[in-house]
């Protein structure tokens, strides 16, 4: 059975306009045979809708599964263009992430995960993102 720890997740996202979004939320960190799984719930949005995230962290790859007003499944591998899918109130969209940096350093007591990527939809860049999660055991 995987080892499960209650953690605090500090989320930071650097936006294209130079602003930084920050939030902190409770989560759980699971030790897997091939890496880690991190689950956490985002604060409700302006409509009161919560989003839950599961991030599978492997040596050279991240897989994100987000469920909320927007559903997203996306894989991230440094230097690669990876296919994903996003479902919004306007329908299902194929997306791709071109990941330029990916770094993770985790142990049973926490650590960090950071990645930078361009998100593409229909071969057009819709945004550039830098995400950092700092994880610490409660």
Predicted local distance difference test score (pLDDT) of residue 31: 93
CB neighbourhood size of 22 (10 A): 9
User: In the prediction, which pLDDT does 53 show?
Assistant: 96
Beta-carbon contacts of 76 under 8 Å, excluding residues fewer than 6 positions away, are: 61, 62, 63, 64, 82, 97, 99, 102, 115, 117
Q: Does 3.40.50.2300 match the CATH number of domain 4-137?
A: no
pLDDT at residue 100 tops 60: yes
Please write the tens of the pLDDT for every residue from 35-54: 999 999 988 777 788 899 99
- Inform me whether the pLDDT recorded for 74 exceeds 80: yes
pTM to 2 decimals?
0.90
Q: Is the pLDDT of residue 1 over 50?
A: no
Query: What integer pLDDT is reported at residue 28 of this predicted model?
Result: 97
Query: Residue 67 pLDDT > 50, yes or no?
Result: yes
Digit-coded pLDDT (tens) for 82-92? 999 999 989 99
At 2 the pLDDT is 52
What is the mean pLDDT of the segment spanning 117-123? 93
Report domain extents, the chain: 4-137
Distances (CA, A) of 39 to 8, 29, 42, 62, 114: 10, 7, 10, 13, 16
Q: At 108, is the pLDDT very low, low, confident or very high (cuts 50, 70, 90)?
A: confident
Q: What is the rounded CA–CA span in Å between residue 83 and residue 63?
A: 11
User: Residues 51-85, buried b or exposed e (16+ Cβ, 10 A)?
Assistant: bebbbbbeeebbbbbbeebeebbbbbbbeeebebe
Query: How open is the CA angle 117-57-19, to the nearest 5 degrees?
Result: 35
């Amino acid at each position: 059975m995987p080892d499960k720890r209650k953690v605090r997740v500090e989320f930071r996202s650097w936006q294209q306009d130079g602003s930084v979004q920050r939030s902190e939320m409770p989560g759980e960190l699971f030790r897997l045979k091939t890496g880690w799984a991190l689950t956490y719930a985002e604060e409700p949005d302006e409509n009161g809708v919560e989003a839950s995230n599961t991030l599978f962290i492997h040596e050279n790859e991240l897989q994100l599964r987000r469920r909320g007003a927007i559903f997203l499944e996306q894989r991230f591998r440094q230097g690669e263009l990876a296919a994903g899918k996003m479902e919004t109130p306007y329908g299902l969209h194929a997306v791709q992430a071109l990941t330029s940096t990916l770094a993770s350093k985790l142990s049973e007591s926490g650590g960090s995960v950071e990645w930078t990527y361009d998100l593409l939809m229909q071969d057009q860049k819709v945004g550039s993102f830098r995400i950092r999660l700092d994880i610490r055991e409660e």
